[in-house]
Amino acid sequence: METLLEIIMEIVMEGTLYTAGNKKVSLWIRVPLILVLLLFFGFIITGSFLTGIIIVKKEGFFKGLIMLGISVLMLGALIKLIVDHRKNWK
């Protein structure tokens, strides 16, 4: 079941990424797809950040700090991908 879900999500995400970057597709279709991608990745990053804060309060400082570091690294990677994509786009 996990493999099936992974394959479906991979197909959906790759299709969304391809369609969002394709200039042949109407802007009215690309903008909502980009918003869906931003919400998806934003939800994951925010969730890991909040989980890190909860772990700091309940479990221990270093475990929570690791989770906060992971969320900051994910945010940095997402920003780097966006900046690199915009450089290649022009």
- What DSSP string runs through the chain? -HHHHHHHHHHHHHHHHHHHH-TTS-HHHHHHHHHHHHHHHHHHHHHHHHHHHHHHHHT-HHHHHHHHHHHHHHHHHHHHHHHHHHHHH-
Domain assignments of the chain as residue spans, ordered by start: 2-89
Alpha carbon of residue 46 to chain centroid: 10
Question: Given this model, what pLDDT does residue 54 score?
Answer: 93
pLDDT in tens, 42-85: 899 999 999 999 999 998 888 889 999 999 999 998 888 878 87
pTM above 0.85, yes or no: no
- The confidence band for 90, taking pLDDT boundaries of 50, 70 and 90, is low
Higher-pLDDT residue of 28 and 18 is: 28
Counting beta carbons within 10 angstroms of the beta carbon of residue 67, is it exposed (0 to 12), middle (13 to 18) or buried (19 or more)? buried
Q: Residue 21 pLDDT more than 80? A: no
Q: Using a pLDDT cut of 90, give the percent of the chain over it.
A: 29
